[in-house]
Amino acid sequence: AQSVTQPDIHITVSEGASLELRCNYSYGATPYLFWYVQSPGQGLQLLLKYFSGDTLVQGIKGFEAEFKRSQSSFNLRKPSVHWSDAAEYFCAVAPFSGGYNKLIFGAGTRLAVHP
């Protein structure tokens, strides 16, 4: 079955530490890939997206993500986390079968940042 998996429900890091949030998908062909962030009480904001080309993509707020076709993964990274990064992060895919317009979301990873 088609799915998006974010294995970590909660992650806690110290401010200034590095961060990696995992995302795996299961689709027959490479879909479009996205990471969104949701602050408490807010809507979702697009961090970055991958459509094709360079497998390392840069996003806003100092985030980057790497697409690895062999592992069906699209992990989100940040070298040094700031307290304001505390939020919930969602990986999403737009499979070709949906005309690339339907987003399938993972369950999310909630990030806490310790001072």
Of 12, 16, 17, 51, the one binding another protein (CB under 8 A) is 51
The residue (of 15 and 73) whose beta carbon lies closer to another protein is: 73
The residue (of 56 and 107) whose beta carbon lies closer to another protein is: 107
The residue (of 14 and 52) whose beta carbon lies closer to another protein is: 52
Taking contact as CB under 8 A, which single stretch among the options 15-23, 63-71, 76-84, 106-114 is the one that binds another protein? Answer: 106-114
From 48, 36, 34, select the one nearest 95 (Cα to Cα): 34
How many other C-beta atoms can be found within 10 angstroms of the C-beta atom of residue 23? 26
To which residue do tokens 């499979």 refer? 95
Taking contact as CB under 8 A, which single stretch among the options 42-50, 53-61, 63-71, 73-81 is the one that binds another protein? Answer: 42-50
Where do the DSSP E strands lie in 1-115? 3-5, 10-14, 19-21, 24-26, 32-38, 44-50, 56-58, 64-68, 73-78, 87-94, 104-105, 109-114
Q: Do you know the residue count of the chain? A: 115
Q: Which two tokens stand for residue 86?
A: 């505390």
Q: Which two tokens stand for residue 33?
A: 């890939």
Interactions with another protein, residue window 65-94 (CB under 8 A)? 90, 94
Binding track over 12-41 against another protein, x by CB under 8 A: --------------------x-x-x----x
Of 44, 62, 73, 86, the one binding another protein (CB under 8 A) is 44
